[in-house]
Structure formats: C-alpha cells, structure tokens
Structure 1
C-alpha cells in the first residue's frame, strides 16, 4: 500500500506539493526525479507546479500528466467516438422518439436531450454501469414517463456500448494501466495530487495508484476537524453526498482506510485553524446539525475565527461588483496576490469591466464564451435566418455587425446602411426583399449604392424558402452566407470572419461540425439553428492579453489548486453557488441510486468542497447581492449556515464576530457607492413651457394638430418648431395606427368603387386590401374577423342613408382671418344630404370620443364642419353642414353624432381664434402635457420634456428660447 496524504486547508496546494516532493527526493540522484510520474487534475495546476519547480533551481523535472490524458499512456485502445458525432447520432434517435411520442418533450429540446443523454452514457462508462443495469430497474412504482425513457434507454444504450466514447475509453485505459502495474510496477513514484476522486474512473485510478508500493495520493481540502462519528455517518449517499468530505469518505472506504490513516504531506499548519473548525462545524450534514449546540461551545471566542473574514451584502449586483473591484484594486496597489472566485460569469465580467477603470486587466481563467464573441454572434444570427422572413431589424443587425464588409469598403457600407435604416423606418416594408433594396437604391445618386444593394439582396434573398434538408447542406449554405457578408460587395475571401482568437476558435469548431455533418441526417431550419447554437455554446476563447500578474479571476475549481493572499468568494447566493443540479430527463434520483450512478447532489458536494478550501485561505471576503434584477435572493446555504451558527453562539461572541465581518464589508460598500455617486446634486428638471419667438411659431396646423395643441402644446413645439420627428421602430408590428389606416382604405375603396352595399363585396374589398397592406398572416385573419363583426353595422348605416358621398380622403384648408394662420384637414368622408347640406364622417377602430371629449379637445369634426361652411374644401364650395358623426367600428360598433347649429360652429371658431391668437403672443409658452386625458398616456416627446422628473400637478415653467 502506498501513501495517502493531505495538505492542510488554506495552504498553497501547489507550493506544498512541490515542497513535499522535493523533501522525499532529497538525497537521491538527479535522474530519480525524472522517474517520478505526477498526475494533476488541471492544466493550470500543471503550469503552476512547473513554475515552482523551475524557480527552485536547475534540476530534471518529473513526468507530469493530466488525469484526463491517462488514455494517452495506454497504446492499442479502441478509438473513441468523437463527441460531436455521438451527439448527432443521438439527436437523430431522439427525433424519431419525439415523432412517435410528441408529448414526451418539445422538438426544440432535441439537442439538449442529446447532450444530456450523451452525458448519461459517459457517466455510465465512468461508473462502469452496463446497459443491462438500466433495463433491470424496477419502474413499476414510478410515473409512466420514466417507464418510457427506460424503454428508450434499453434500446439506445446497447447500440453505443460497443462504440466507446471518451469517458468509456478513459476507464478502459485505467483498467489496462492497473492490470499492467500488477505485473510490472512503475520504476519510480507515482503521485496523484489535487483530485477528490469524484468520478468513477478517477477513483479507480487513484485506488490503483494507492495500491503501488511507491504510489501516493495527495488529497486537497481534507478536513481533519471532522469527528469520527460524523465521518462514519457519511456512508449514506442519500443524506451525505452534498457534504464536502463525502468523496474522501468513499475513496478511503474503498481503500479500507480511515481518516486517521491520512498522513501529512508536509509539516505545514493550517493558516486559520480556528476558522477551519468553525466552517467544518457549519457544514455538518443536516441530520447532525444538533451538534452545533454541543460542540459550538468548544470553538472558543469566535472573534479569532472571524479575523480575516469580511462579509459583503450588497443591495444589487452592480454595487457588489464595484466593491469587489475596489478590494482587488487595493490588493494590486499593495502588491498582494488576490483572486476573485465565483461561478457567476455575469459578476466576473462586471468586476473586470470595473477594474478597467484603473487599467487593471485580471488574469481570467475562464475566457469568453465563443457565442458572445463577434464571430460567434454573426454565425448565430445567420444560423437563424433560414425558414424565416427577413425583418428590417435583423437586416440592419447583420449589416451593422463589426465583421460585416471587413474585406471591402466598410466606410461606404456603414454610410449606406445608415441611409437604408432611415428609409426602412419611414417607409418599410416590414419584410424587405432584394427588389425593395434595388428600388430604394435606384432613387439615390449613382455612387456605388446600386451594386451594394444588389450584393445585400443576393446574399440574403431566398432564405425564407429554405426547408428541410441535410445538415451538410444547411452548414455549407450557412458558411457561404457568413463569408460573403464578411467579405463585402465585390470582394472575395471571408474578410475578418476567421481572424483573431475568436475567429480561429469558430473556424475550428465549424470544421469539426463539417467533418461530422454526415451523421446529422436531415433537419428543418429551426432544428439546425438549435443544433448550431448548442455546438457553439460549448466553445470558449482566451484572448492573448497582458494581464496583471497578481490579480486573478478563477472558477471554483481553481480554489483547490492555487494560492493567494486574498480571495473574494463572489456570488454566494443559492442557485449560483451552489448552482442548481442539472435536471435529468432520463433517470430520476431513485433510479440513479439503484443503477449505481451519481446523485444530483454530487455537484453540490463538489461546490461545497471548493468553498471549504477557498474560505480557509489567509484573508477571505464573502460577497453576495441581496437583490438581483428580478427579486430578493437567497444566501448560499453555506453562508446561511455560517451566519446562523455564529448568531446562535452568544457565549462565544458569535454575534459580535458576525457584526465585525459585516462592518468590514459595509466600509467597502460605502466606498463603492461613493465611487458611483455624482460629484454634485443634479437638480430635477421643471415642467417646461418654452416660449420661442413669434415669427418661428407654426402658421399652419391640421385639425388633429389643434387637438395636440390643446392637450400637449410641447409636442407641437418639438415637432413643428424644433422639427424633431419621432423615428418609427425598426420592428414594424400590426399596431393600432396601421389598423386604422387599413380600415380607412377599405371603407374608402368600398364607397369609391360604388355598387350595392352588400356584405360579400365589402369582405372581398377588405380581404384584398389586407393582403396588400398587412403582411402578417395572424393580423390579417384577426382584422378580417373584426371587420366581419362590424360589417353588418356599417352596411345597415349605408343602406339606411340617402346621402351621396362627395369627398373621400382628400385634403382641404382655410385661412383663419385676421390671424396669419391656415387650418388644414383630410376628412375620412363627406356626404351630401338630400337637402343639399353636408354630413361629415370620421371612422374609428376603437371607441369614438364622447360628447364631453369633443367639447374639451376632440374638435376635429367640428372644425372640419366650420371649414366646410367657409369653403375649405374647394370642390364643394361654401356649404352648410347639418351633422357630424364619429362611427366606431370596434368590438362594440357605435355612432356618436352631433347636430350642427350656427351657434355651435360660431363658438368653435371663436375658440380656435382665441387659441391661435394666444399662441401668437411671446409670453405664451408651449407647456408639456397641459391637458392629457390620462396620466399614463405616453407622448412622443415626454423624454425630451423630462417627464418623470416633474409630476402632473407641478406648475409649468415658462422660459424664453431662441
């Protein structure tokens, strides 16, 4: 039996590992070190060990291997199935399953299911669970879902049992290596360091090494403060697998050893023994937490245990990131080695961005997800284009991408893209095609824009019609479009798409997918997009940057293999650290236990082990945000346990020690808030009422503008005097404005074409207009159904009317004498009654305005009536008006009619004179939101008026401008 040793918690593991190795090799010839085989768990730890050995003097180095590369030491192993090929083949089988049983899962989950099934097959290989074990499970007392998945696994697992994947191949390598060592032991020492043996293959290898006379296991994070009764209670996986020491218990049990048999690798002592005892007690398994009361009194004064601990409870993640950045900046200033350890990549990115304020670039172990790089984003965008109509939003996102047209004249490309955006916002269409781009380019100067528009159209046109085809065809077309976009008009090659670290990583990933595409079969465009996103999400990119040598950002795994003077454990919230176990759609918890597979709590136990090692370092900051973007957060279970334990031991000064930890954290939070605070108090804006010179004020308004002048004069100031026009949204939708426009055109066309007021003819006209103006099938169907409901009401009005339509959707105007002002209007419809008077009609898709609203501000038809009597509509001449009507054709059709009298029109005209005359005076300001109907009514210029900094009850603030 070899040696099983441990390095104390809080001690720099790689440094202690090297010291212990050098001490054991002392006095031996130089070549003895070259016979040592050292197996480490990460490449980062291997680099650190090599650095320490090199710095300790000139000597031969041991042979250093990674535990994941054991298969390279065993020749003649069967080749492993490439991971991507395995997932593609599994996806084809799962697609067939979902076609037969569509209620099992949505089709969009196909590749997620393939990924989880590949993980399950790999775990079966790691834990040496044969396919027969899955088929032998008793699922009679489980739901029917698990019986169906068991039947599917019974078919799939044997198929791939003869094609070893990487996990199964690694186990075959370990078994072969262990068998070889039994007959031919290695010449020198074999050491496994830094691993917990959490996976079956690794545990098997560690047992084989421990059986060698010169074998040695060096365990990280071994807890010597755990009492023997608690240690023995860890044998039940159902209650103990989430404990940080469970994996060591299982390993030592397989080696027939106890915790007392684990020796010290070096004579190092723990950095903070009192803290280690406190943390160890707080992490006791749930069934024995009653020991807090009996053993808590033996911890002594907890102020000593709390020394070196800081607790940050930030109000939100941004403040947490700022506080952590300040702590790391102070460490860099003092020349200390500091690290942020967190599984929350959002938090680590915010911290890195905050450090950039001082020019500090941390050494980030994780890199950047490939799908978030420029190359990854472009490939993802293009992957989702087939089978869908191209929208202006998607088109401009592609054209503005930093990699588009990098092989051509990008300056003109961006200029034309900007002009095209303005055109699409103003004029549409909602789904542009090549012909639309060519028509737009034809209206512009001949400066090359026509060729550019032809390139855009040829590159992106026809994507909507792509259907089901082979994965190879999807991929080749995808890459062809991506390279043509990146190259630019008139250029060859692929521009900067495959350049730099991100482009090279994307190229390698795409090459792997191309090599295995024949195994993907046929798929729809949506399935291809899901597959490509899934493949791309597994890539990471590490840019070559000059990082600060003493400031690091680590994942939780690095906590066991690195050393630092100060560590910040960030994102200590449940669901983040530890993260929630990945859901297993194939086997539930009881089925896993019966089959001999790992329980979901395994990942929580590994995270707990990482936490126990990290919190034992010399100086530690525990950090969390009390709220995230959605709701209050829950503290990490380990942090919660630590706080509850300390708060429950007043005799040991636990509450005081906890308050001191919080006080140290509040000091950093105060600095973070001060860093974000503005230099001075910015006064709130007052309710504006600008007073421009009289000569620039509008001399013409439509009748709808009079309504705006009454309700929100500031909008008239912004639109007609400042000439600020709101941009239409890029994503055009079938909104109320378009619905009203379509309704008006339908009724105008129906009346203008003439003929009997028949239901069929009206619906035929409606269907034709909707097909021309509304490219959204769902909106067309909905609006046609609404018109169907209101059709009879409209036709009854038409049939019962003896009036003759004489004015349809045409403009008119009249001067408002003696004022220098012109009033314009475009009535929906004017009818001539049998007595020669007029009836003015306005159609509404919603609820027509009430008489009170018409009296207050909705004066559109009354003003049009006054214009008609003054000859505002030239073809009609001055003609009296008998009636005006708002016809609501919404869900509840209704007519709001008003009989016209001379007194009523006279009053309306006098009010118009008074209104326009008032705004002809310099002292009259254009107040914001003067008389809006509802406070929540949104205006196009509310942001310009700084609405929100002032309330509706605040007085306006007149101010001369211009």
Structure 2
C-alpha cells in the first residue's frame, strides 16, 4: 500500500488515534512512503520526536518493521533536547550566538547566594536552596512561555494588598532584575532560556528558509510556544508534515468548542496547538495505518470514544444520555455490538486495599505476562515509590524490569557511603555513624597486616559501647583501660593484647582522618567548596578510587565535582548543614544502572510512557493527589496575577496528565489500579475512574 505524506498541499497535519501504537504506525508510514526507493533515500529525512526515549523507541520500531530490508536510518532527534551542533542545525551554526547554559547545581547555589544577599540575610543554606528552586521554577516558566516582559511582576502588587504579596513580588523581582545581571557577568544563560531560544531560532529559520529535505515532527503537542511554532514551520515545509498523538476526530463539535476554557480536558493541548495556527480539526488527516481487522479497529475506536466521553467537560455531561444514544445510532449500521460494551472489552478496574497489596499484585501481573512468548507489559504510574516496590518484587524472581525512574543515589552503595562520610564529619564520635562507615564494604584500612574486621569488632566492643565518648582521647583511653592487667596482675592473653593494639591503631587512623576532614571548618563553618573537597578526600582515603566505579560511583563523582566547582557561590555553612545538604542532593539524584533489563517488561512514569505501547498496559496509582496530582499551588502569584503576567493556569498540567491517561488506557488490554488506603489514610479514587463508572452505569439505563 503506497503512502505519500507530502503529496498534498501544505500545511500538512496528520494524527494517529490514541488506540493505535503511535511509534509503530509512524515507522510503518515512513517505510510505506519509502516504497521501493533505495536504502539511502531515508537518510536525508529528519524525524523530530518529543524526547530521547521516544527517539530510541522509534529507531527500534523502524529497524524491526523493515525486517530483512536494508535501510539507512533517518536523522532522529528529540525536539525537547536539541543541540546547536547536531542536525537539524549545521555544525557550529549557532555556537557563537548563544552563550553556554549554566550547570543546574551551580545555578541553584548562585540563586541561593543571591537570595541570602539581596532578600533575607541570615537565611539557612537549605532554606535558601528551597527558595532558589522556587525562584528557578518561576523563571523557567516565564522563559518556556516566552513572557515578553517578566519584569512586570514587580508591579503586579498595588494598593493595600497583604504584605506577603508584596514580599512575593519583591522576591520574584530577583529573578527578573538581579539574576540576569549575575548570569551576564558569568557569560552564561539559563538552560530553559537556551532551549526555548534554540527552538525559536529553528522556527524562525524554517519559516524564512524551509528545509528542502523530508522533515516529520511527530508525537509533540507543542506545549511551549516555540515548540508549537516549530511544528507549524514543519507543516508548511515543501516536504514536511506534523503527526499529532491521540487527536479525537470524533469528539462532538459542541464539546470541541468548549475546550478553550477546559484546561483539564485531555484534548486541550491539541486544541490550543491547532487554534494557535488556525488549523481546523477537520483539516487534520489520518496517518497511514497498517492493515488490521475490522473488529480490532472497531474495538479501538470504541475505547477511545468511551474514554474521551467519560472525560468530557463537566458542563457538557448533561448531554451524556443523548451522546450515548448518538454513538449507538452511528455504530448500528456497522456492527451489532453495543459500542459502549465494545469499548469496555479489555478494560478492567482493580481496587486493592493498601499499597503493599498493589505492589505484590502488579508484580504478579507483570510476571504472568511473560508466560506468553513475545507478549509485552508496561506499568505506568507517577508513583515512584510504587514503581520501586514492584521492581524490587520482580528482582526476587530474577527479573530486572526496564525502569525509567532509576534509583536514588542515596540508596546506592557509593551514594550511601558519601552520605555516611558527610554525617561522620558532622559528628565524628557518633557510634552508629562511625560503625556504619567503617563496616561498609567500601571501607579499607591498612593496619600493617592486621585483620580490619577484627580491629573494628574490638573497637566497637571496648570503646563504642555505653556513653558516647566526648573526644578521641577518651576513645583511646577506653582502649588503654581494656588493655590493663587483670586482677592479681595477670597479663592479658597475647591475642587479646594484639587485638587491642590493632583497634588502637584503627582509632588513631580515624582520628587523623577526622582531623583532616574537619580542617576547613573554622568555628564550625566552612565554605561549601572546601567542605566538598574535604569530603572527597575523606572518601578516597577510606575507600580509594573504587568508590567512583560503576554508574552510582560516576554519579557521585559528578555530584562532588559540581559541589567543588559551584559550591563557593553558596558561602559558608556548618557541619550539620553540610551533611543535610549532601543527603538532600544524594536523595534528589537518581541513577539508571542500565545493564541487562528484561526486553518485555517496563516500569514507566506517566511522562516517559507517552507514545509507548505494550500488549498489557497497567495504570497504577489512580488516586486523587497521585494521578492526577493536585493542581500546583503557586506560593507567590495569585491566579489573576498569573493571568496578567501571561503564565498558564495551574490546571493546564492536569490536562496533559489526562491525555497521558487516555493514551495509555486505550491499549488492547488496560488494567486500571487504585488503592483504597495510602500512607495509612483512606484514599479517594481518581476522578477519571469516577467519570468512567458514571458513564458506563448511565449507558445501561439508556
């Protein structure tokens, strides 16, 4: 079957329904367009996808579907992570125009320092970092939305409004007044500004000089204005087209017209994109679809229609009965099956008591999938803790699932060792911390041939039990006392005296390490970069270079390098604050270990699951506050203030998560899972499950 995506007049907009495997259909359409052309014909094409995971999955699908046919792969690039030295740019094309982006960790420290200096002197470092994250989030939103004059934020508060609103305006003023000056002095820019600028430059360039080669932008909804304009430029190119994910071409026109004010609707992002570029929904054509049975096609369309009807705007639910009757009337000439019942085939809802039950059940369902050769399963959940519980249960059966969330660095060997070392610097004589550190598999001690394990055990027995020793001298004194002759002047056995001598040598070694590590702290305060150097030296003295081996070691090394390089910006902090900071950073950093994961099992977050298809899709964590998450509360700006400034309403994010839900729930087999209790408290089922239940109940009465 021939297919030419560029055969019609520009602009060219296509869509793949939510019930179809997006990347497989996209790859099949590209191969159908290639036809009998030589293998190198495809190498001139550029495919833009939302993220790197989607780019890898598309390349895999293209390779799989091409079979034995030799094909040179196209240039596949993530739209959200473009580099100026890679296609679609020419090498060095924009390198002189855009300064480099500031490192994320350095940015946090510089912002925290600015807050302490210009907003609230004396603020604790960890609190300053939290405020820096909030300030950075506001700035990122302004830059991604390309707010023309973010400086207006300082004038949003007028009259006798509450003092905290005035403080908020003054605080946010740092982001639009003081921060750009600091960046300019460093010769750097914000990462979000740089990404938006690259997309804006690409949109402008392609609008003025359209690419001559084939370009396909697929899977993106253009949530950022610059990205939306890139899509429009691609659609207008001589050999360009845009492929949208999950556009519901059957949604009632009356409901489609309401989406302007319905930020929480799953089709809202697509409505905004098409409305921005004045594209009628009817002008969007269906993308190539591989041959499929009429039954499968009818079931998929019925599922998509059912879900989008369930999630229609609240003010339109009064028409549910009429819409159900209309759907049945339209389907009657085509099939004898009830379209509502057809949409429910393969869709199930599972209610479990607590999170632990959910983890056990989900792991069993994923394991059961492997009993059928070639069958795939994906667990989709925004609940990272639940995903890790399921992964841990699968590990018990020797199955390592491909997990997108990774593992917190603090829970891995290198990160845990760093955490212990930082805590030891904060309290060098704390027995629990000290023993955990020196008993770590990474810790090594050269005690002139003595057994370190025996020295540690002796030190614990005679010096670390009972009251905490106030000084290292007291610790050595306890060991000396244990080595005194027994009653009657009877000397200790030689083996015990030798053990005590080894323990004393170990204690002296630890005292020397502690003295070196504490050297930067004057009156308990040290600059962050010097404290990080001391921590790095301590870790290497205890464990050697092996601590930096492996994915977790590399991540730990990168973190310490960032602390050393940018730590001076934060200024001085106490030993306790330093330990808390290191622990916080280790917890925030996640590591994907890679290695041999099972090719048919995946555990994905809602964002990572976009465009991903599996034979069995399990959607878990469907409780209010989890999926969907509560609309974020802006601590600095009220809704009217955000509107005046040009920032999107908080509910827009809920619409994006609703689209993720519909896309995943349209799989042939979809299992929707929720827990009745979460964290020991009753949990409320997701609003989407309530809507689906109400619609199906109502369908039985029509």
Q: Could you say which residue in structure 1 is the equivalent of 2:313?
A: 285
Which residue of 340, 344, 348 corresponds with 2:383? 344
Give unmatched runs, 5+ long, in structure 2.
Answer: 1-9, 291-296, 329-337, 484-496
Higher relative contact order (CA 8 A, sep 6+): 2
Alpha-carbon distance change, 31 to 507 in structure 1, aligned in 2, over 3 angstroms: same
Counterpart Cα distance in 1 of 2:158 and 2:576: 35
**Does 2:130 correspond to 1:112?**
yes
**Does 2:392 correspond to 1:353?**
yes
Which residue of 330, 348, 373 corresponds with 1:310? 348
Counterpart Cα distance in 2 of 1:409 and 1:309: 67
Tell me how far 1:595 sits from its aligned partner: 1.0
Structure whose alpha-carbon radius of gyration is higher: 1
Tell me how far 1:581 sits from its aligned partner: 4.2
Counterpart Cα distance in 2 of 1:410 and 1:440: 24
Q: Could you say which residue in structure 1 is the equivalent of 2:170?
A: 151
Which residue of 81, 91, 116 corresponds with 1:95? 116
- Preserved CA contact (<8 Å) 2:394 2:400: yes
Tell me how far 1:526 sits from its aligned partner: 4.5
Which residue of 510, 528, 534 corresponds with 1:456? 510
Alpha-carbon distance change, 532 to 312 in structure 1, aligned in 2, over 3 angstroms: same
Counterpart Cα distance in 2 of 1:588 and 1:407: 61
- Preserved CA contact (<8 Å) 1:220 1:560: no
Q: Could you say which residue in structure 1 is the equivalent of 2:30?
A: 21
**Does 2:152 correspond to 1:133?**
yes
Alpha-carbon distance change, 92 to 219 in structure 1, aligned in 2, over 3 angstroms: same
User: What RMSD over aligned residues (CA atoms) do the two structures have, in Å?
Assistant: 2.7
Alignment deviations for residues 901-947 of structure 1 (CA, whole Å, 9 cap, x no partner): xxxxxxxxxxxxxxxxxxxxxxxxxxxxxxxxxxxxxxxxxxxxxxx
Q: Could you say which residue in structure 2 is the equivalent of 1:518?
A: 568
Q: Could you say which residue in structure 2 is the equivalent of 1:330?
A: 368
Counterpart Cα distance in 2 of 1:201 and 1:531: 36
Q: Could you say which residue in structure 1 is the equivalent of 2:492?
A: none
Counterpart Cα distance in 1 of 2:638 and 2:424: 37
Alpha-carbon distance change, 387 to 541 in structure 1, aligned in 2, over 3 angstroms: closer
Counterpart Cα distance in 2 of 1:499 and 1:535: 19
Q: Could you say which residue in structure 2 is the equivalent of 1:715?
A: none
Counterpart Cα distance in 1 of 2:342 and 2:628: 27
Counterpart Cα distance in 1 of 2:448 and 2:385: 36
Give unmatched runs, 5+ long, in structure 1.
Answer: 487-492, 653-962
Tell me how far 1:547 sits from its aligned partner: 1.9
Tell me how far 1:603 sits from its aligned partner: 2.4
Tell me how far 1:197 sits from its aligned partner: 1.5
- Preserved CA contact (<8 Å) 1:244 1:606: yes
Q: Could you say which residue in structure 2 is the equivalent of 1:398?
A: 437
Which residue of 243, 256, 260 corresponds with 1:235? 260
Alpha-carbon distance change, 133 to 38 in structure 1, aligned in 2, over 3 angstroms: farther
Alpha-carbon distance change, 613 to 537 in structure 1, aligned in 2, over 3 angstroms: same
Counterpart Cα distance in 1 of 2:448 and 2:223: 55
Counterpart Cα distance in 2 of 1:586 and 1:533: 28
Q: Could you say which residue in structure 1 is the equivalent of 2:142?
A: 124
Q: Could you say which residue in structure 1 is the equivalent of 2:205?
A: 180
**Does 2:76 correspond to 1:64?**
yes
Alignment of 1:350-749 (within 5 A): 350-386=389-425, 388=427, 390-405=429-444, 412-423=451-462, 426-429=465-468, 431-442=469-480, 443=482, 445-447=497-499, 448-460=502-514, 463=518, 467-486=524-543, 493-494=544-545, 496-651=546-701
Alpha-carbon distance change, 141 to 288 in structure 1, aligned in 2, over 3 angstroms: farther
Counterpart Cα distance in 1 of 2:347 and 2:697: 15
Counterpart Cα distance in 1 of 2:170 and 2:253: 44
Q: Secondary structure at the match of 1:99?
A: coil
Q: Secondary structure at the match of 1:577?
A: coil
Q: Could you say which residue in structure 1 is the equivalent of 2:16?
A: 7
Q: Could you say which residue in structure 2 is the equivalent of 1:53?
A: 62
TM-score w.r.t. structure 2 length?
Answer: 0.84
Tell me how far 1:213 sits from its aligned partner: 3.1
Q: Secondary structure at the match of 1:427?
A: coil
Counterpart Cα distance in 1 of 2:236 and 2:417: 53
Tell me how far 1:632 sits from its aligned partner: 1.1
- Preserved CA contact (<8 Å) 2:23 2:612: yes
Tell me how far 1:46 sits from its aligned partner: 1.4
Tell me how far 1:282 sits from its aligned partner: 1.3
Q: Could you say which residue in structure 1 is the equivalent of 2:215?
A: 190
Counterpart Cα distance in 2 of 1:407 and 1:617: 59
Q: Could you say which residue in structure 1 is the equivalent of 2:5?
A: none
Counterpart Cα distance in 1 of 2:511 and 2:443: 14
Alpha-carbon distance change, 384 to 637 in structure 1, aligned in 2, over 3 angstroms: farther
Range moving further from structure 2, 226-235 or 267-276 = 267-276
Tell me how far 1:297 sits from its aligned partner: 4.1
Alignment deviations for residues 386-405 of structure 1 (CA, whole Å, 9 cap, x no partner): 55574222222323333223
Counterpart Cα distance in 1 of 2:456 and 2:643: 59
TM-score w.r.t. structure 1 length?
Answer: 0.63
Counterpart Cα distance in 1 of 2:626 and 2:195: 31
Alignment deviations for residues 842-896 of structure 1 (CA, whole Å, 9 cap, x no partner): xxxxxxxxxxxxxxxxxxxxxxxxxxxxxxxxxxxxxxxxxxxxxxxxxxxxxxx
Alignment deviations for residues 748-800 of structure 1 (CA, whole Å, 9 cap, x no partner): xxxxxxxxxxxxxxxxxxxxxxxxxxxxxxxxxxxxxxxxxxxxxxxxxxxxx
Alpha-carbon distance change, 68 to 643 in structure 1, aligned in 2, over 3 angstroms: same
